Amino acid sequence: MEASDEREWGIGILRGNLLILVVCRCIWMFTTSIPRPYLPFYIRELGGTSATVGLVNSMASLAGLFLYPLGGYIADSRGRVKLVGAATFLYAISFLPFAFAASWEAIAAASFFQNLVLFYSSVLTAIQSDSMPPGQRGTGFAIALAIPGALGILSPYIGGYLVDSWGVIGACRVTYSIGFGAGILVALLRTFKLKETIKVTKERVSINDFPRLLKESYSSFVDTLK
């Protein structure tokens, strides 16, 4: 689908899939940006050190490498919207371990899992690109980044106020819980409001297909690098 349906509700270029994606990103940006600057303090409050903070960030980056090729392969062959919806639910659930963590090790595990299921981000970009008229994609991407970014400007200040009022642990537990609720809302919007942008011709994926899909996706990735 190269262009948005003119009958879809919206304003200007913001209609259809692009409108849903921007609304979801606004929700994410406003809520998840509240605790993010204070994660290092949270880790230290739970017994971590400066080295521990670095380790948690490294594990998060490492996790992001595992499933990106697989996510793109499944999305392009079996549909993008279903994959994005399911992965967003998993991403929302990943906020719960942060909210109830009893040690920095729990934070490390939660960070690894959260970035592991974030493989859908490239798929989301593909949906966004396909949902805009070719001649307006530059404007569309700019709008999709600018509006949520502007909304998230106040989030770190809100987080700082809550940290001063409730302490690091109390504030982080509450704000990560809010992130979970926001994530469920975003997952529902993406699952039921986004429209598929490619023609799905292959069969449904099952757990038994996972080893084969993993092999095929990474083989394709290696061929691309070559």
- Among 202, 164, 21, 175, which Cα is nearest to 98's? 175
Q: What angle do CA 110, 112, 118 make, to 5 degrees?
A: 100
Average pLDDT rounded to a whole number, residues 158-171: 96
Both tokens of 66, joined, read 């595992």
pLDDT score for 121 = 81
- Among 66, 186, 31, which Cα is nearest to 124's? 186
Q: What is the pTM of this model?
A: 0.83
Assign 5 a pLDDT band (cuts: 50, 70, 90): very low
**Location of structure tokens 């303090």:** 41
Q: Where are the domains of the chain?
A: 12-225
pLDDT score for 67 = 64
Stated as kind and residue range, the H or E segment containing 10 is strand 10-11
How far is 155 from 196, CA to CA, in rounded Å? 32
75 burial (CB, 10 Å; 0-12 / 13-18 / 19+) is: buried
Architecture of the structural domain at 12-225: Up-down Bundle (1.20)
